Amino acid sequence: MKSSRASRGARTTTPMEIPSFTICGQIGRAYSGLADVLLVKREGKAGGLSALRILSTEFIDYEQIKKEVWFLRWLSHPNIIAFECAFSVDADVYVLTPFHDLCSVLRVIQAHYKHGIPEKAVVQILKHVLLAVQYLHEQNIVHRSIRCSHILLSSNGAVKLAGLRHCAFLRRNEITEAHEPLHEFGPELAEGLLWLAPEILKQ
C-alpha cells in the first residue's frame, strides 16, 4: 500500500512535501489504543524504515497532538526519539519517526523476559533514560510519563525516550516563553496514574 501527495490528494499543515511511503505492517497501538502505529518504508530514505502513527483528531485532542509534534521538532538529544516529519490528511495527523527494531521495553519484556530484564541490561537502559531526563530538565521540562512503553530500543544498542505528549514546563521556558502548571493533569493522563510518584498523586 502506497501513500503519496498525488494518490491521496492530501492537504498539508506545512509547506513541506508529503513523503511517499509503502506500508509494511502494523507495529502496535499508541495514545491508549486510539492510534495505529505502522511500519513503513520511505522512498529515498537511507535505511528505508520508519514508524508512522496515524492520529485521528476525531478521537484525540488536536492541541495534544500539536504539543507532542512541537516537542518532537524542537528537542534534540541522542536519547530522545527523533522527528522526521508530520502532515495531515483530512481529520488525521500522520507523524513519522525512526523505526526501532526492538520496539519498546514493554514489548521486549512481554516477548522475551517474562520474569524481568537482566540487571546489566536494566543498568544500561536506565543510564540512557537518565541522560534524556537530564537534558529535559536542563530545558526546564518534566516528562511526566516515563514507563516501559515509552522507552524504545534498537538492536544497535540505541535507547530513546518517547511519550512526549505528557511533557510540561517547570516554569517559563527560554525556547517558547510558555507557562504550564506542572501538576495540571488532563483526562489523557489518567492512563499514566500507575506510573506517577506518590508525592505527585498526593497533590
Structure confidence by residue, pLDDT tens digits, 85-98: 999 988 899 999 99
Give residue limits of the domains in the chain: 21-98, 103-198
Note every long-range contact of 168-174, with CB atoms under 8 Å and residues 24 or more positions apart, other chains counting: 168/141, 168/142, 168/144, 169/140, 169/141, 169/142, 170/137, 170/140, 170/141, 170/142, 171/140, 172/140, 173/139, 173/140, 173/141, 174/139, 174/140
Which sign, positive or negative, has the C-alpha torsion 172, 178, 184, 190? negative
Confidence (pLDDT) at 14? 44
pTM confidence score: 0.79
Show Cβ contacts of residue 200 under 8 Å, excluding neighbours closer than 6 positions: 183
Confidence (pLDDT) at 12? 37
Q: Which amino acid is at 185?
A: F
CATH number of 21-98, picked from 3.20.20.70, 3.30.930.10, 3.30.200.20, 2.40.160.40: 3.30.200.20
Low-confidence spans in the chain with pLDDT less than 70: 1-17, 32-33, 46-47, 171-192, 195-197, 199-203
Confidence (pLDDT) at 13? 40
Task: Return d(Cα 131, Cα 23) in angstroms, integer.
Answer: 33
Q: Which CATH topology does 103-198 take?
A: Transferase(Phosphotransferase); domain 1 (1.10.510)
Confidence (pLDDT) at 47? 67
pLDDT tens digits for range 61-80? 888 899 899 999 999 999 99
